[in-house]
Amino acid sequence: MAKPNGEGGAQTPEEFAREELRGKREAAGLTQEGLGERIFATGAYVGMMESGRRRLRPEIAKLIDRELNTGDYFFRLARAFKSKHSEYFADAAELEALATAIYEYAPTLVPGLLQTEDYARAVIRATSPTALAERVDALVGARAERARLLGDPEAPEVWVVLHEAVLRTVVGGPAVMAAQLRRIASYARAHRIMVQVVPFAAGAHGAVGSMMTIMQFAEAPDVAYTEGPYAGQLLDYPALVQRHWKSYDLARAAALPPEASLASVESVAEEYATCVRT
């Protein structure tokens, strides 16, 4: 499938698929907007697939095959590409990398974007106790790669609301928790992220029990993502996204102010560190 590229290097399968999509679309006399209309997408979405900013998903590939009369060619190409992430999160991971702002509410676990490798490994191993070590390593590596977004001093803007249960649920042991909470605190101290904590005393609130992420983009509407055990859902219907914004705002209203939240994170981190020392 791979062939030499213009610089003499080996072309990846993904690059090959992107070139094939562009070439066969143009051979059919269709613009990106024209193909987008036929597959119930936008021209911008087609452009993102051709530039590699969005992956070629099997369900979209089927529609492309139908419109370009390519049999099951693109469907087979799409099936050959395995995401670094869990299948249900793959599309959300792509959008996360394009977002200008990310807002998260976490009821039980530290969001993947902020996880240390030890914390991520403990979570993955707990949910997949018989998984091969290679698979666990791959998933841990994918989460670590996501965290590189925070290496950019300006984008994306990140605002995280954590329920106190996130701080108190011991994942991987006290040492892992101390390091994890200190990482969160260091991001906040560096003014890279905003963090708020919803205390147990706040009781029920607008986002209780539901993990959610809302992403904003420079030239596209907001998108919400919700996740449960082994399943996730991207939502772009404006009314539903607005309902998630309302829930998120209610969670922020129930949370401690940022400075008090940071003090809480650091205090619990020190409690874990004390456990390790003793």
pLDDT band at 8 (very low <50, low <70, confident <90, very high): very low
The mean pLDDT value of the chain amounts to 89
Note the pLDDT of residue 11. 60
Q: Give residue-wise pLDDT tens across range 92-107.
A: 888 898 899 999 999 9
Question: Span 61-86, mean pLDDT?
Answer: 82
Cα angle 167-169-175, degrees, rounded to a multiple of 5: 80
Phi then psi for residue 110, to 5 deg, are -60, 130
Exposed, middle or buried by CB within 10 Å (0-12, 13-18, 19+), for 23? Answer: exposed
Note the pLDDT of residue 32. 93
Q: Give residue-wise pLDDT tens across range 127-153.
A: 899 999 999 999 999 999 898 899 888
b/e 195-226 (16+ beta carbons within 10 angstroms → b): bbbbeeebeebbbbeebbbbbeeeebebbbbb
Sheet containing 193-198: order of strands? 193-198, 157-163, 101-106, 211-216, 223-228, 231-235
The residue written with tokens 């049999």 in the block is 71
Least confident range from 7-16, 46-55, 101-110: namely: 7-16
DSSP strand E in 154-245: where? 157-163, 193-198, 211-216, 223-228, 231-235
Note the pLDDT of residue 173. 98
pLDDT band at 31 (very low <50, low <70, confident <90, very high): very high
* Cα 153 from Cα 247, distance rounded (Å): 28
User: What structural domains and CATH numbers belong to the chain?
Assistant: 13-80 (1.10.260.40), 87-277 (3.30.870)
pLDDT band at 71 (very low <50, low <70, confident <90, very high): very high
Q: Give residue-wise pLDDT tens across range 200-223.
A: 999 999 888 789 999 999 888 899
Least confident range from 34-43, 179-188, 229-238: namely: 229-238
pLDDT band at 43 (very low <50, low <70, confident <90, very high): confident
Question: Span 258-263, mean pLDDT?
Answer: 98
Q: Please give the DSSP secondary-structure letter assigned to residue 256.
A: P
Answer whether residue 86 shows pLDDT above 70: no
139 membership: H or E segment, kind and range = helix 133-146
Which pairing describes strands 101-106 and 157-163: parallel, antiparallel, or unpaired?
A: parallel
**Which is it for the CA torsion 239, 240, 243, 245, positive or negative?**
negative
* Cα 55 from Cα 61, distance rounded (Å): 10
* Cα 136 from Cα 278, distance rounded (Å): 31
* Cα 174 from Cα 39, distance rounded (Å): 50
Least confident range from 6-15, 159-168, 178-187, 204-213: namely: 6-15
